[in-house]
A = this chain, B = another copy of it.
């Protein structure tokens, strides 16, 4: 339930319900033991309610609501987040974030940064600490990788976002990166959110595999409560039931975050689809629903990539994505 409207004794519940429906509100009539409608519950997926306006409608006794659970998130509505010299969020120019899934060498870092900058990206992405399903897979180049990424970003005038996996690495990562990424698997790793939130850097919080919007916003609240100077949300697809795409990209929720909650939100179509042939159209769609940026994977030599090479864009594909993200081409 979103909101409850209690009715005056003489209220015409049917008329009121029809009027609310015409305003976009789904309601359920609640009856007392005698069968009389005494209240209308506004139920999902109704849009937000203007309490004062509802209170003035004929027949309305009171308008009740559950208290908001994320005051700091709500207070951040409409504001942008500074990432290095770039701003991301409502009102800011759209951003392109590009780079390799993981960085295997200094050459990878510099090659990717060159490619990203050439395409118009303002933020370099790249993993030095990688969450891997297998403990025997490449876990990332670690501290050395961070240094490569920072140097490569600086060489090309880019800001840097990279994932932090462990509370113990927060200091190290915060020193190197402008934006700390919390991965999908850690969206509700509250110890990490607290540690990373206190490191003085803004956070990029990827949505958990099956997180509701409310849970996602609460993850952001954890970060802000811990002192994070800003939070950017990143949709990367939820778990679906069809393997034609890697995940199920939920652009409706991006639209909600961008237009209703007015929080900075970007989209990662590389992980969402796992298919290079779908990245450009979904990047365009991300912009169309109001996302403030798009994050994609590209690798200077994908035959050498040690993770997720199939979804890494070529230089030409990256240029096509940049065109739709930065210039609004279709």
Taking CB atoms, residues of chain B closer than 8 Å to A256 are 244-245, 278
Say yes or no: A259 contacts B241, CB within 8 Å. Answer: no
Say yes or no: B282 contacts A252, CB within 8 Å. Answer: yes
For residues 284 through 330 of chain A, which have their beta carbon under 8 Å from a beta carbon of chain B?
A: 284-290, 302-305, 309-312, 324, 328, 330
Say yes or no: A22 contacts B281, CB within 8 Å. Answer: no
A99 at the interface (CB under 8 A from B): no
A156 at the interface (CB under 8 A from B): no
A8 at the interface (CB under 8 A from B): no
Separation of A226 and B47 alpha carbons in the complex (Å) = 37
Say yes or no: B66 contacts A30, CB within 8 Å. Answer: yes
One complex includes copies of this chain to the number of 4
For residues 250 through 269 of chain A, which have their beta carbon under 8 Å from a beta carbon of chain B?
A: 250-253, 255-256, 258-260
A45 at the interface (CB under 8 A from B): yes
Taking CB atoms, residues of chain B closer than 8 Å to A309 are 18, 21-22
Q: Give the contacting residue for A290; candidates B24, B238, B243, B281; CB below 8 A.
A: B281
A87 at the interface (CB under 8 A from B): no
A191 at the interface (CB under 8 A from B): yes
Taking CB atoms, residues of chain B closer than 8 Å to A181 are none
Say yes or no: A31 contacts B65, CB within 8 Å. Answer: yes
Say yes or no: A47 contacts B275, CB within 8 Å. Answer: yes
Say yes or no: A45 contacts B243, CB within 8 Å. Answer: yes
Taking CB atoms, residues of chain B closer than 8 Å to A9 are none
Taking CB atoms, residues of chain B closer than 8 Å to A134 are 69, 218, 221
Taking CB atoms, residues of chain B closer than 8 Å to A245 are 45, 252-253, 256
Q: Give the contacting residue for A131; candidates B35, B188, B239; CB below 8 A.
A: B188
Q: Mind listing 15 A-B residue pairs with CB under 8 Å?
A: A1-B41, A6-B38, A18-B304, A23-B310, A28-B66, A30-B64, A33-B55, A33-B63, A47-B276, A167-B168, A185-B190, A210-B239, A245-B252, A252-B272, A259-B278
- Name 8 extra pairs, CB < 8 A, besides A251-B282, A251-B285: A1-B41, A21-B310, A209-B209, A210-B238, A237-B252, A240-B241, A259-B281, A285-B289
